[in-house]
Structure 1
Amino acid sequence: MVSSENTKHTDKTIQNAIVKGKGIKREKIDRKVRLLASLIPPTNTPPVEEGIVAFYAQISKDESNPSVHHTLIFDKVRTNVGNGYNGVTGIFTEPREGIYVFNWVIRMHNAQHSTELLINNDIFGAAFLRAKNGDDGSVSGTAVAHVGKGDVVFVRTHFTLGGDGNILSDLYSYTTFSGWLLH
């Protein structure tokens, strides 16, 4: 359990990193702060209706040349019913067991990347796009999986295949991650 003193410190540290972070990359937020933030339940989400779990999040700014094995952080959380998604870590923690649908959409311009959907440490899905020679495109992946309570789901760049170029997210096309409990 996180003490209220640690919670206040973590909230303040995260808030300062976000407010001052106009030129700071998300990955520069201290790892301990992100881990502590994952223990704090979100406070800006609507009450959970019985049985409904769904999230939808976007990357708020371009991801510059991500390296291999890089967890993508979809930091602009638009929907988080069930409070399972964490916009600081990019990880969805299953609030209850069931069959889930997960979808991720990655946009690139003059770049190439392979992305993976992981459930715990299992690569459950992958999607690759080569948008070179001035091309602009999006690739999406969808997976349906039986997931246990407490399991974690996230999207990362491929663990060995190095990509190049930026992953884009703007008003023309957002890079997104979503999931919902089917049954």
Structure 2
Amino acid sequence: MSILTRRMTFLIAYLLFMPSFVQAKENLQREKFKDIMEDVTSLSTACKAVGYVNTNCEKNEYVAFDTRMGSSPTLKKGEKAIFEEVNLNVKGGYNFSTGIFTAPIAGLYIFDWTIWVNSMRRAGTVLSVNGMKKSHINCYAAYKYGRTFSCSKMAIVRMEVGDKAWIYSSSGNSYIGMYSSFSGFKL
């Protein structure tokens, strides 16, 4: 059998059986979607059974943001850290040009921030909510020869609609490495 004959046989078989493969794939996708919808219905039924009819199960009140530092600034005391690389911003509460998160919905929020510093550098940072210090960390990389060090902090804060949260430097010349991050979400 020549190469041309084998290719023609393959092409004919492909054309004959391809529609059934496409149909099978579409049926599989429909089945997966149907399974997901059944899970959502089951979850909704369970929520209603335990009394969450008009709260979290029925409403889309998800609020979350996740940001990264795009550069490595040195901040003066009191200067805001602006995390300009936004990976997630559900409900649009984080403003990447000001570095401020504004609560779109009242509730309990969890904030987390990690500060990276290079060898022999330090950074003191504070989580501020409406200008009030809520939590802080001091990070110092006592290592020499190009090593980095990270410090992380988490805080739980009650916020009302329009309350603002941000990170700022609590010490002079805080070096904030480019892998630093600031994240938050509503419980």
Shared fold per TM-score greater than 0.5: yes
Question: Is contact 1:114-1:163 (8 Å) kept?
Answer: no
The root-mean-square deviation of aligned C-alpha atoms, in Å, is 1.3
Q: Among the aligned pairs, what percent are the same residue? A: 30
Q: Distance in 2 between matches of 1:124 and 1:142?
A: 10
User: 2:125 — aligned with what?
Assistant: 115
**Within 5 Å, which residues of 2 pair with 1:77-88?**
77-88=86-97
Q: Answer 1 or 2: which has greater helix percent.
A: 2
Displacement of 1:162: 1.9
User: TM-score scaled to structure 2, two decimals?
Assistant: 0.64
The counterpart of 1:68, out of the listed 39, 53, 77, is 77
Instruction: Tell me which structure has the larger Cα radius of gyration.
Output: 2
Which residue does 1:153 correspond to in 2? 165
Structure 2, gaps ≥5 residues long: 1-58
The number of residues matched between the two structures is 126
* 1:94 to 2:106 alignment: no
Residue 73 of structure 1 and its aligned partner are, at CA, apart by 0.3
Runs of 4+ in structure 1 deviating by more than 4 angstroms, as ranges, are none
1:53 and 2:58 equivalent?
Answer: no
Q: Give secondary structure in 2 for the equivalent of 1:168.
A: coil
Q: Which residue pairs with 1:177 in the alignment?
A: 182
Answer yes or no: is 1:127 the counterpart of 2:137.
yes
- TM-score under structure 1 length normalisation: 0.66
In structure 1, stretches of 5+ residues that fail to align are 1-48
